[in-house]
């Protein structure tokens, strides 16, 4: 290549580089006149009911003032966290993000999100599990909490001769086993139990770590969040692992269940469904005699997860005032009510709960509120949580596949401890 041609190539590259930068910067920041655009990202893509409520709130906000326009970008839940992380690494976070509650501590540590800066009285009467609080500051608020629960049909339990457990008197480990055996004997279902073992990602930790905790184990030693030793590979954890794999070996549960466990249950392929109360509407619509059961007590009482998706303010936001105005506007009892009604989840404030008959005393969904109140265990509030969750996910799928539980759990503990060490204990 001659020198001249080399110069042409170099000039061409420079022009392209300039164009690329110009295109990027043109994207952010709205025009001088007209409303400022505030981007909002949500994981609710594909979940029409939830997305519709978000749309309503945003439309209301956009209509009642003309300084800001909130723009929704929805992602499928599986891809959402990756999208946020990728955006944060390149400094392109939107102003408002929703965040799964176990990630709040990690995102605060990483500097993704900032305190909401809303007056403290905004959150009066809100369930503690629905606030992302780190070091006393509120970084995120959620509209709802969810509760793990089991579903079945009265007719199924009656035919199997199994008693209906209650929040005050849940099934014990042995009762649960007997119930599975009895339902299995009906020969009516492909599997007596469906625990959504086909799920991936955070569901694994959300759904199965409470069982581990009910056995007496845990994901990490919560005294200082520095090691998982003993908690995740002690005798209690081992017992949980053996029990879990046992369900597959005894043919009560599929090693990998179908894509949509709720749909399978409604179509009659399973007798008992272990999932969250998000399945409530679908199940009750399908069966007149649907019953909601608390998770079994494996030793230390029934346990369920706590904390769901919450809204947060990103740190790099260049229009904090507008974003804050939206978050303040959106924290309105009527939206809490709409959320709870649309997705069948537990409303996050008492005001909202009072407006929904189903969640009032004696209401048909009261059981979820009671369970969230009595059985909830938050996932470890440590920046190490994403790693812990990923290690637990792999360990669980290996256990379900029939690997040696002790070495799998030892391996998970070693990985988690190494990660914590490598990050200097995740001290901020």
Contacting residues toward other proteins, per CB under 8 A: 1-2, 4-6, 8-9, 12-13, 16-17, 82, 85, 88-89, 106-107, 109-112, 190, 200, 254-256, 258-259, 386-387, 390-391, 394, 397-398, 400-403, 411, 419, 422-424, 428
Name the minimum Å distance from CB 239 to other proteins: 21
Name the minimum Å distance from CB 219 to other proteins: 15
CA dihedral sign of residues 214, 136, 223, 418: positive
Give 91-155 as a DSSP string.
T---SEEEEEGGGHHHHHHHT-EE-----GGGGTTB-GGGEEEETTEEEEE-SEE--EEEEEEHH
- Closest among 370, 209, 231, 228 to 303, alpha carbons compared: 209
CA–CA separation, 81 and 311 (whole Å): 14
Name the minimum Å distance from CB 413 to other proteins: 15
Q: Which is nearer to other proteins, 300 or 422 (CB)?
A: 422
Work out the number of other CB atoms within 10 angstroms of the CB of residue 217.
Answer: 26
Determine whether 394 is exposed, middle or buried from the number of CB atoms within 10 Å of its CB (0-12, 13-18, 19+): middle
Q: Which is nearer to other proteins, 277 or 396 (CB)?
A: 396
Q: How many helices (H) and strands (E) does the chain have?
A: 16, 15
Name the minimum Å distance from CB 214 to other proteins: 25
Q: Which is nearer to other proteins, 25 or 89 (CB)?
A: 89
Chain mean position to CA 234: 26
Name the minimum Å distance from CB 129 to other proteins: 23
Name the minimum Å distance from CB 306 to other proteins: 23
Q: Which is nearer to other proteins, 355 or 419 (CB)?
A: 419
Q: Which is nearer to other proteins, 207 or 295 (CB)?
A: 207
């Amino acid at each position: 290549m001659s020198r001249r041609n080399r110069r042409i190539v170099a000039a061409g590259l420079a022009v392209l580089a300039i164009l690329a930068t110009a295109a990027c910067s043109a994207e952010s920041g709205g025009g001088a006149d007209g409303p400022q655009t505030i981007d909002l990202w949500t994981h609710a893509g594909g979940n029409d009911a939830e997305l519709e409520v978000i749309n309503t709130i945003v439309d209301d906000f956009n209509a009642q003032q003309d300084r800001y326009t909130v723009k929704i970008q929805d992602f499928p839940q599986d891809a959402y966290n990756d999208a946020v992380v990728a955006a944060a690494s390149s400094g392109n976070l939107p102003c408002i993000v929703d965040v799964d509650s176990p990630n709040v501590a990690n995102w605060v540590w990483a500097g993704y999100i900032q305190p909401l800066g809303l007056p403290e009285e905004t959150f009066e009467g809100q369930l503690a599990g629905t606030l992302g609080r780190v070091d006393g500051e509120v970084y995120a608020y959620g509209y709802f909490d969810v509760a793990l629960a089991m579903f079945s049909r009265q007719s199924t339990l009656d035919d199997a001769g199994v008693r209906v457990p209650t929040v005050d008197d849940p099934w014990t480990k042995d009762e649960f086993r007997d119930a599975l055996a009895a339902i299995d004997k009906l020969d009516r279902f492909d599997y007596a139990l469906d625990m959504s073992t086909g799920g991936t990602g955070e569901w694994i930790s959300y759904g199965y770590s409470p069982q581990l905790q009910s056995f007496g184990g845990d994901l990490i030693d919560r005294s200082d969040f520095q090691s998982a030793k003993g908690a995740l590979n002690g005798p209690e954890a081992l017992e949980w692992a053996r029990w879990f794999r046992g369900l597959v070996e005894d043919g009560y549960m599929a090693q990998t269940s179908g894509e949509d466990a709720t749909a399978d249950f409604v179509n009659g392929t399973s007798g008992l469904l272990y999932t969250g109360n998000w399945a409530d509407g679908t199940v009750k619509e399908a069966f007149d005699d649907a019953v909601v059961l608390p998770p079994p007590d494996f030793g230390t009482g029934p346990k369920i997860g706590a904390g769901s998706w919450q809204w947060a303010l990103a740190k790099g936001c260049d229009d904090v005032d507008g974003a804050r105005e939206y978050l303040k506007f959106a924290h309105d009892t009527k939206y809490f009510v709409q959320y709870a009604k649309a997705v069948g989840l537990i409303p996050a404030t008492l005001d909202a709960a009072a407006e929904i008959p189903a969640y009032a005393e004696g209401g048909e969904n009261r059981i979820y509120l009671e369970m969230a109140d009595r059985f909830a265990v938050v996932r470890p509030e440590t920046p190490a949580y994403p790693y812990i969750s990923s290690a637990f996910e792999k360990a669980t799928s290996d256990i379900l596949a029939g690997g040696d539980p002790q070495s799998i759990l030892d391996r998970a503990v070693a990985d988690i401890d190494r990660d914590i060490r490598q990050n200097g204990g995740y001290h901020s």
